[in-house]
Structure 1
């Protein structure tokens, strides 16, 4: 069985449902994880996904902010959500995928939207940055104590950190910019090592090559300037590493009408 799984910070699922429809029609992943859905559960456009054949849906939303969702053609058991830092933010949801052709191999899937952290990389004066660091600390501790990666598991989402020098357009220019500061990279490293997790994108793209999934709205010509960052991630447990079998980063979607500033990232796994 081949399993295709995508992650996309859509920046309002209702505003960009036509783009989601286009993506699902053209790319047809088995599972799509969305971040920044920005709507309450009751406002989520269920009908649009059902029409496209995504009948299994898990939502963790809130009014106007944050929000994560998983839509799937594959049956799953909804496992729940965690309120990181006890702030009441909708930033995590988890399900257990139940592939019908491999019933003995359930896969735990976690969808995250890590706080962006504001503009000033100083937790003493910027509570948003302090929240981001605390969120990462809790992620690492939770993964260590729950041994999440000791099962077949996948973590996806907008983690709002570009960890490698080649994950940003200029390492030197962004060292003091939130998303690439040394303290963020260090704390994300602790989360990865708490698995340990396999970076699925870098499994396919060597770490010495540039790799981006986000381009700022502030750039008048994002494609020409190409000042991107890799903020969107897919990690798999060591047990799934050998099954990684393809990667697509849909850069062209950044140029669609009224796009998100993130693009969809899709990995393929061969579970045979």
Structure 2
């Protein structure tokens, strides 16, 4: 039976609730993980999600910045929030699925699955931690992930790690590898850290499994581009990683590029992975 999960940096969930509910109506993922919700928990538009069948909601939000959320058709057995780099910002939430109560979709076979939802710091514009505190924070966050990999290592129970990781790790994850080597999100100091963490934690990159290099794959297009679709100067910043035990169930992946062209869009497109479990 198919089980689908979507990750999407929505860049303000309240501002773009119409885009989110449109996506849910058209694609109907079992679980939607959002980043950059920019919304305190008490002001999250839960009613709109529940009206579309997403009764189970886990939040880690704050006013104006950051924020992550998981909305689901499947009940949660557990919710966990963690802070990184001794900062009380909202960049991580995880849930364990209870595996019952999903109408016509995922069922008991997802029971015990852990979903990790991350929003890694963007890092600012200058790729020098000595002069740019935001870039220093990003590198520290990635380093802390490496120290933490024993906790997220998908041993025993199946798990999925998703989110806006704000790193385009491979040459064909950006529109021009050579031009972007000195640009935050694609510098070697970032890409090497993220790939080291993925390998150490043993996760499988779902999108690249189905769309291996040299195919170019993008999930983000800058607002600064006057004609983003024609220029297609994108980057792959949004990721879905699977525990090795789930990799054989990988069925499909989709980047909903059309959503980037909707009215008042996020600069990120939703990324959906479907498993046959």
- Compute the TM-score of the two structures, normalised by the length of structure 2: 0.95
Matches for 1:4-43 after TM superposition, within 5 Å: 4-43=4-43
* 1: CA distance, partners of 2:190 / 2:171: 13
Report the count of equivalent residues. 270
* Counterpart secondary structure, 1:194: helix
Residue 154 of structure 2 is matched in structure 1 by 149
Residue 238 of structure 2 is matched in structure 1 by 232
Change in Cα spacing, 1:73 to 1:260, as seen in structure 2 (3 Å) is: same
Which residue, out of 239, 257, 271, partners 1:265? 271
* Counterpart secondary structure, 2:267: coil
Could you report, residue by residue, the CA deviation over 1:140-180 in whole angstroms, capped at 9, with x for unpaired residues? 11113x25321311000000000000000000000000000
Could you report, residue by residue, the CA deviation over 1:96-127 in whole angstroms, capped at 9, with x for unpaired residues? 01223325741110000000000000001111
* 1: CA distance, partners of 2:233 / 2:48: 33
* 2: CA distance, partners of 1:160 / 1:182: 13
Matched, 1:248 2:254: yes
Residue 66 of structure 2 is matched in structure 1 by 66
* 2: CA distance, partners of 1:176 / 1:77: 43
- Compute the TM-score of the two structures, normalised by the length of structure 1: 0.97
Matches for 1:1-272 after TM superposition, within 5 Å: 1-100=1-100, 101-102=107-108, 105-144=111-150, 146=151, 148-150=153-155, 151-271=157-277
* 2: CA distance, partners of 1:4 / 1:102: 14
Change in Cα spacing, 1:194 to 1:44, as seen in structure 2 (3 Å) is: same
**Which ranges in structure 2 are unaligned for 5 or more consecutive residues?**
101-106
* 1: CA distance, partners of 2:152 / 2:220: 30
Structure 1 runs of 4+ aligned residues shifted over 6 Å read none
* 1: CA distance, partners of 2:173 / 2:136: 23
Equivalent pair of 1:5/1:266 in contact (CA under 8 Å) = yes
Equivalent pair of 1:143/1:149 in contact (CA under 8 Å) = no
* 1: CA distance, partners of 2:16 / 2:245: 35
* 1: CA distance, partners of 2:243 / 2:85: 25
